Structure 1
Amino acid sequence: MRSLPYVTGAAAAAAVVLLTAAGPAVADDSDFTIKDPRVKESSGLAASRAHPGIYWTHNDQDEPRVFAVDSRTGETVATITMTGVGKPRDMEAISVGADGSVYVGDIGDNLDGSWDHVWIYRFPEPKELKDATVRATQFTVKYADGARNAEAMMVHPKTGRVYIASKNEDGGGLYEGPATLTASGTNTFRRIGDVPWVTDGAFSPDGKELVLRSYFSARGYEWKNGRLGADHRVRAPIQGQAESVTYSSDGKALMFGSEGDQSGVERVALDKDSVSGGGDKSPSEEGGSVADDGISGDGGNSLTYGVLILGGAAALVLGLKRLLRRR
């Protein structure tokens, strides 16, 4: 996904300065950096069910492979190469299902509808973490209302049902797959709700909440009987290329990932405003609107804040460059 320019290292540092000036940061030693030089566009993130502290990630346009990264060191401890799936077009999401399998969503379509179908790949999460080649199952996916561009795919941790959140120019939609995916035919995903324009999403380990993130924000939704419930604000970090999100394996925090070389994953502990039924009222209750960036209600202030931070960082970088030139 390349629709937002990367923030330079200096600009990111400047943004940190501005954030620090705005208020104290919460120290957390659970953040980590993906150190593998092969991971240049970490587009999805999923906490392992079989191996605590391990997170699965992948590039968006690459060989059909995923990487197991140890959050304690940032090092890749296993590379899994999938066979039987052809060459991926735009892998954007990853999730670990109730069946203990890893699901990879080859669901991106930057031309907003040029492909009449996309794919989901599935393979069992390995019991031992080591480099391996596995034969994956490939599922063909179509949408009942026409081709979609999407970056978010979520597998419910209890029912095993797969959901996709689209991000076409006319707004986002939440799509529900069949109760059981089939590898022998087409799996039709049907729209069951409207959601903001998002880059990733994840279900809580207990399956009672769905979190969706965008470039500058994240929102949580109660999940009731397979449908979206009340929504509320969720704290999210400002990242140069805000791309992925997953719950930690214990469900006590959200892990937010970004793209780029040596990309960072930031842990945000869940607080009382980030639990089902808490936080803000839904847009329909308070008369707010959902913008394409995924902000709803008074969350628009977060977008303004994010733009000001990035703008200030850019200005600081330019000032530093001018100062160096004078020398």
Structure 2
Amino acid sequence: MGDVVIRLLAAVAATCCLATAPAQAAAGGDDERARKLFTFQDPRITESSGLAVSPTHEGVYYTHNDSSAAPTFYAVDGDGRTRATYQVRGAQARDWEAMAATKDPRTGRGVLWFADIGDNLDGAWPDVSVYKVMEPRTIGDATLPAVRYRFRYADGARNAEGIMVDPRTGRLYVVSKEFAGGVYAAPRKLRADRTNVLRKVGSAAAPVMATDAAYAPDGSSYVIRTYFSATLYKPSGEQLARVTMPELRQAESIAYTADGKALLTGSEGPKSPVYRVPLPARATAAATAGSATPTPSPTRAEPRAASETTDSGLSWKDVLVWLAAALTAIGVITFIARRTA
């Protein structure tokens, strides 16, 4: 019964994605300029859930699989071919959902962050973990040591699929995956010897069902991905623009390109594609203008008119489609429960 329910809910999410994608494309602006960058060629990459651009190796991209996998990640080239496979020593892969890549300003070394933060039961785990791995100096198969940081939420356990790291401050943020999600800030200084507390940043609200997040390489903006689209924000939390994404089977990952001029987005599934989506010129200009006076953490985005969208960046039509699909799923689950009682 439990497996049936989970599959039904997954189908609902997929149905919502397909149902809302045409409306977003029609209202979009940049979807027609999105192009496929590459397709993962490695048959072992079946559930690409995290995506990052190498901060030190040109033309190298990193990814990892979703839950029920080993603590493994892959380095691929611009053609989607695997150049190296890495095992992470001292790590578990309970439900890896996201990754981020930064550069240590003191040493110039790349730093990779792997987020074991999935919790589909919203409280099944007493804590979640993020692993810090120094990026290898050369690209080749290896086993790399990790530092494990444990976290718990100040306001109770929840499911999450997005992490991002501010390159200017090194501070880590987790974005929860909920109908009314939130952006959670980690302590400025992480401790490996005790559990760190994630605190909701003010009343900052993430878009509906956020599946990933990322900071721009220069820290001038950040992006939050959902099944439906992506929304850009200034570091202050002010909304910059909503970017229409290409239609994907199950949108799971997002990252900025190395030059910060475009977004990369991927999907789960064997031989899944990665698309490059240019950022709107007005958004990059506004982000650059606003980066002169950086703020330490995101705050609430400016609200939009109720007649246009909700605070999540979805139109009211999108929300109604979601609710209709959810009610349908509830009806089907109730029917199955009665038949199997």
Same fold (TM over 0.5): yes
Which of the residues 279, 295, 303 maps onto 2:313?
Answer: 295
CA distance in 1, matches of 2:274, 2:162: 17
1:195 aligns with 2:201: no
Distance 1:64 1:212 in 2: 25
Paired residue for 1:214?
226
Amino acid at match of 1:113: G
**1:165 matched to 2:175:** yes
Question: Are residues 120 and 51 of structure 1, via their aligned partners in 2, closer, same or farther at CA, if it must alter by over 3 Å?
Answer: same
Q: From 126, 130, 133, give the equivalent of 2:136.
A: 126
Shift of 1:252: 1.2
Aligned pair partner of 1:149 in 140, 147, 159: 159
Matched, 1:68 2:100: no
1:21-32 → structure 2 map (5 Å cutoff): 26=32, 31-32=37-38
- Name the SS of the counterpart of 2:303 in structure 1: helix
Letter in 2 for 1:124: M
1:248 alignment counterpart: 257
Among 108, 111, 116, which residue is 1:101 paired with? 111
1:205 maps to amino acid: P
- Following superposition of structure 1 onto structure 2, how do residues 17-56 of structure 1 map, counting pairs within 5 Å? 26=32, 31-56=37-62
Residues of 1 paired with 2:200 and 2:149: CA distance?
A: 18
Between 1:91-100 and 1:183-192, the stretch displaced more is 91-100
Structure 2 match to 1:239: 248
Structure 2 CA distance for partners of 1:24 and 1:117, relative to 1, 3 Å = closer
Three-state SS of the structure 1 residue aligned to 2:175 is strand
Q: Distance in 2 between matches of 1:185 and 1:134?
A: 22
- CA shift, 1:114, in A, is 1.4
Q: Deviations over 1:216-256 (max 9, x none)?
A: 111111113xxx12342123111110110000111111001
User: Distance between the aligned counterparts of 2:248 and 2:161, measured in 1?
Assistant: 17
Change (3 A) 1:38 1:141: same
Does the CA contact (< 8 Å) of 1:98 and 1:160 recur in 2? no
Per the TM alignment, residue 24 of structure 1 is displaced from its structure 2 partner at its CA by 11
Letter aligned with residue 64 of structure 1:
P
Match of 2:63 among 54, 57, 67: 57
Report the AA paired with residue 153 of structure 2.
Y
SS at match of 2:239: strand
Matched residue, 1:324: none
Matched residue type, 1:261: P
- Unaligned regions of 5+ residues in structure 1, if any? 307-327
2:294 is matched with none
Normalised by the length of structure 2, the TM-score is 0.75
**Once the 2 structures are TM-superposed, how far is the Cα of residue 152 of structure 1 from its aligned partner?**
0.2
Q: Distance in 2 between matches of 1:119 and 1:25?
A: 35
Which aligned pairs between 1:285-324 and structure 2 lie closer than 5 A?
285-287=304-306, 290=310, 294-296=312-314, 299-300=315-316
Query: What is the alpha-carbon distance in structure 1 between the residues aligned to residue 99 and residue 168 of structure 2?
Result: 17
Q: Which amino acid aligns with 1:172?
A: G
Say which of 69, 88, 109 aligns to 2:93. 88
Identity of aligned residues (%): 41
Distance 1:123 1:137 in 2: 7
Q: Structure 2: state its 5+ residue gaps.
A: 1-5, 105-109, 288-300, 323-341
Instruction: Say whether the 8 Å CA contact 2:227–2:251 is kept in structure 1.
Output: yes
Where does residue 270 of structure 1 map in the other structure?
A: 279
Q: 1:303 to 1:204 in 2, by over 3 A?
A: farther
Q: Number of residues paired by the alignment?
A: 286
What is the alpha-carbon root mean square deviation over aligned residues? 3.1
Deviations 1:154-195, CA, capped at 9 Å, x for gaps:
1111211100001235x2010000112111111111000211
Distance across 2 between alignment mates of 1:23 and 1:183: 44
Please list the CA deviations of residues 65-97 of structure 1 after superposition, one character each: whole Å capped at 9, or x if unmatched: 111111x21111111101112x32100000012
Hey, what's the Cα distance between the residues in 2 that align with 1:40 and 1:274?
33
In the alignment, the residues of structure 2 paired with residue 27 and residue 219 of structure 1 have an alpha-carbon distance, to the nearest angstrom, of 17
Letter in 2 for 1:76: T
The question of whether the paired residues in 1 share the 8 Å contact of 2:34 and 2:278 is answered with: no
Asked if structure 2 preserves the Cα contact closer than 8 Å seen for 1:220 and 1:276, the reply is no
| 2:238–2:302 contact (8 Å) kept in structure 1 | no
